[in-house]
Amino acid sequence: MVKLTVSPILTLALSLAALGPLWALNPVSIKGTKFFDSVTQDQFFIKGVAYQPRTLAAGFSDPLSKPADCKRDFPLMKDLGLNTVRVYQVDPSLNHDECMKALENAGIYLILDLMVPKHSIVRNNPEYDTNIWNNVRSTIDAFEGYPNTLGFFVGNEVTNDNKTTVASGYVKAMLRDTKNYIASTSTRKIPVGYANNDDPDIRLQIQSYFNCGKDEERIDFFGINLYEWCGASTTYKTSGYAERTKDIASYSIPVFLSEFGCNLVTPRTFPEVKSIFGPDMTDNWSGGIVYEWSQEDNNYGLVQVKPDNTVSLMPDYTNLKTVLSPLRPTGVKMDAFKESLPISTCPAITSTWEPSEKLAPTPSSAACDCMMSSLSCVASDQAVATTESLGTLLNTVCGMTSCDDISSNGKTGVYGKYSFCSPAQKLSYMYNAYYTNIGKKAAATCNFNGMAKLQVATKSSDQGCSNVKDTPNSEAKAGGPNAGDQVKGDSFMVALAVLLGVSVLAL
Ligand SMILES: *[C@@H]1O[C@H](CO)[C@@H](O)[C@H](O)[C@H]1NC(C)=O
Ligand SMILES: CC(=O)N[C@H]1CO[C@H](CO)[C@@H](O)[C@@H]1O
């Protein structure tokens, strides 16, 4: 019998290794117009599916926080030949380790949307405030450590016609902040993109807009939600797909279909898949994301989630697998790929393309907190609790005294010094302005039917407050196991396991 003495560090390595597979997916990186596996240097084509099951959940639900569902669904996606999921909404405060591991085990990457309905830039009345930005930062914190986080979408169809173009300026401000934040907090340059709708009036402006200007204000990849190919009687040429390929032929960054799969003819047979992953499109596109995994009211499902929480495959699943499985685009190798195209020219500002070149400032909670501590009259708890009517309350006070300090105008490029504060903070600032300037600090003027209340200011004025900057989300990072450390831990384990394998063989 051979007596083995195992050093403590090897024991540690063994027990860590027992926790999960030793391999991790190689991060995907971008060179020019294409995605590549950063280790093998193979070109990477997105074979994706939109993943946001909502059948059994009332309202908001984070699909990457439900390990049982993840383990049910991801092997089926792998079987179908998919390598990417697009998720639209998560809750950054929940734990995603198990689902991200389950994704990785299935060889699948994540593209995650950063804006959720509750905290988003609204196309008809765009604003970019601390609530939105803090949620974005927390989401980046929660996902940047996973090696299979392929990218983030900074917006999805925000501007969707020629009347809502100002909103794109606010998205671009958030893009700038998102890219700067990733650069300062992440060990890996996770790319950031935008998903466009396919509005004929403005799609080319949007495409150019997000790929023009300064480095930090440009997306790294572009998605088009494309539903032009409906049914098997349509072809690459007649569907509009060939036209869209011309639109992007000289675009300098990777483009893919961030959603596809028209369902005017059902069950879907996905004839477009042969073009997307074949010679028609692989020179110019990087794949696509079929809409969507689970059957919902809008009838796009590949699978049906049943009441007992199991799934059954729908005809669309089988049909997609049939067309997808023979297609294996190989593309080019990263080191051999030299093509480099110029960035886009910014679209001219016209009556149907209105965003100002001057972007909204970076929202700073620290600036708003500083301002709040200088106020003597603030919104009452009752006012803050009535989130829906904050806008109405603001309109009322803005009818009485100037709201310039809290307003923003993305068309003229004029942004008030507290335009990025939360609605409740803005209301407080305005109640205080009314109380100070019009009410001459008479206690009775800080009331507004119980919506305002007096407080003791801890600062004598708000001077300098608007320039106070936030630091990166240090609290969020210190709060729990940092996913970034885990990744480093994984490669440490791989290295140790390799050493261990060698020494075991040597025995
Ligand atoms: C704006 O969009 C509408 C709806 O698509 C279209 O009818 C109109 O012609 C467009 N306006 C301009 C100036 O392009
Ligand atoms: C419309 C179209 O197919 N455009 C281009 C796609 O990519 C190839 C290779 O880079 C070009 O030669 C095509 O002109």
Each residue of 407-421: b (16+ CB within 10 Å) or e? bbbbeeeebbbbbbb
Say yes or no: 277 and 404 in one domain: no
Say yes or no: 408 and 483 in one domain: no
Spacing, Cα 352 to ligand 1 middle (Å): 8
Burial of 444 (0-12, 13-18, 19+ CB in 10 A): exposed
| Average pLDDT value over all residues in the chain | 89
Q: Over range 357-378, report the average pLDDT.
A: 98
The predicted pLDDT at position 57 comes to 55
Say yes or no: 463 and 498 in one domain: no
Spacing, Cα 161 to ligand 1 middle (Å): 8
Helical (H) or strand (E) element with 215:
none
In a domain, 196, yes or no: yes
The predicted pLDDT at position 482 comes to 37
- 145 — pLDDT class (breaks 50, 70, 90): very high
Please write the tens of the pLDDT for every residue from 381-392.
999 988 778 889
Q: Which atom of ligand 1 is nearest to the CA of 161?
A: 2
- Hey, whose CA ends up nearest to atom 4 of ligand 2? 249
In a domain, 333, yes or no: no
Q: Considering only CA atoms, which of 112, 130, 129 is closest in space to residue 50?
A: 112
Say yes or no: 291 and 440 in one domain: no
The predicted pLDDT at position 1 comes to 40
**pLDDT exceeds 60 at position 232:** yes
Say yes or no: 451 and 500 in one domain: no
Other beta carbons within 10 angstroms of residue 342's beta carbon come to: 8
**pLDDT exceeds 80 at position 15:** no
The predicted pLDDT at position 8 comes to 45
The predicted pLDDT at position 389 comes to 82
Say yes or no: 89 and 220 in one domain: yes
Evaluate whether 74 touches 103 at the Cβ level (below 8 Å): yes
In a domain, 232, yes or no: yes
Say yes or no: 426 and 495 in one domain: no
In whole angstroms, give the CA distance from residue 329 to residue 335. 18
In whole angstroms, give the CA distance from residue 272 to residue 234. 9
Say yes or no: 389 and 285 in one domain: no
Burial of 37 (0-12, 13-18, 19+ CB in 10 A): middle
Please list every protein residue whose CB sits less than 6 Å from any atom of ligand 1: 161-162, 201, 352
CATH of the domain at 462: 1.20.58.1040
Name which of 134-138, 353-357, 383-387, 448-452 the model is least confident about. 383-387
Say yes or no: 434 and 480 in one domain: no
In whole angstroms, give the CA distance from residue 449 to residue 313. 57
Which of 296, 324, 352 is a domain's end point?
324
User: Would you report the helix, strand and coil content of the chain in percent, each value rounded to 5?
Assistant: 35, 15, 50
Is residue 113 classed as helix, strand or coil in its secondary structure? strand
Respond yes or no: is residue 144 known to be catalytic: no
Respond yes or no: is residue 272 known to be catalytic: no
The predicted pLDDT at position 54 comes to 84
Spacing, Cα 412 to ligand 1 middle (Å): 22
Name which of 74-83, 158-167, 464-473, 482-491 the model is least confident about. 482-491
In a domain, 302, yes or no: yes
Catalytic residue among 144, 157, 217, 292: 157
Please write the tens of the pLDDT for every residue from 207-228.
999 999 999 999 999 999 999 9
Tokens of 123: 């196309």
Evaluate whether 229 touches 241 at the Cβ level (below 8 Å): yes
Q: Over range 102-131, report the average pLDDT.
A: 96
Say yes or no: 319 and 416 in one domain: no
In a domain, 99, yes or no: yes
Does ligand 2 come within 6 angstroms of the Cβ of 283? yes
Domain range for 414 is 365-467
Q: Considering only CA atoms, which of 59, 29, 66 is closest in space to residue 44?
A: 29
- 55 — pLDDT class (breaks 50, 70, 90): low
**pLDDT exceeds 80 at position 155:** yes
Say yes or no: 315 and 451 in one domain: no
Say yes or no: 301 and 376 in one domain: no
The predicted pLDDT at position 499 comes to 34
The predicted pLDDT at position 491 comes to 36
Name which of 323-332, 359-368, 444-453, 496-505 the model is least confident about. 496-505
In a domain, 356, yes or no: no
For the chain, give the percent of residues with pLDDT over 90: 84
In a domain, 360, yes or no: no
Evaluate whether 466 touches 417 at the Cβ level (below 8 Å): yes
| Interaxial angle between packed helices 423-433 and 365-372, expressed in degrees from 0 to 180 and rounded to the nearest 10 | 30
In a domain, 244, yes or no: yes
DSSP string, 52-110: ---SSSSS---GGG-HHHHHHHHHHHHHHT--EEEE----TTS--HHHHHHHHHTT-EE
The predicted pLDDT at position 400 comes to 93
Q: Let me know how long the chain is.
A: 507
Evaluate whether 226 touches 161 at the Cβ level (below 8 Å): no
In whole angstroms, give the CA distance from residue 46 to residue 109. 9
CATH of the domain at 304: 3.20.20.80
Q: Considering only CA atoms, which of 60, 20, 26 is closest in space to residue 41?
A: 26
For the chain, give the percent of residues with pLDDT over 70: 88
Q: Which residues contact 255 (CB under 8 A, 6 or more apart)?
A: 33, 221, 222, 223, 224, 248, 284, 285, 286
Give how many domains the chain has, as a whole number: 3
**pLDDT exceeds 80 at position 465:** yes
Other beta carbons within 10 angstroms of residue 63's beta carbon come to: 22
Match 């006012």 to its residue by tokens: 383
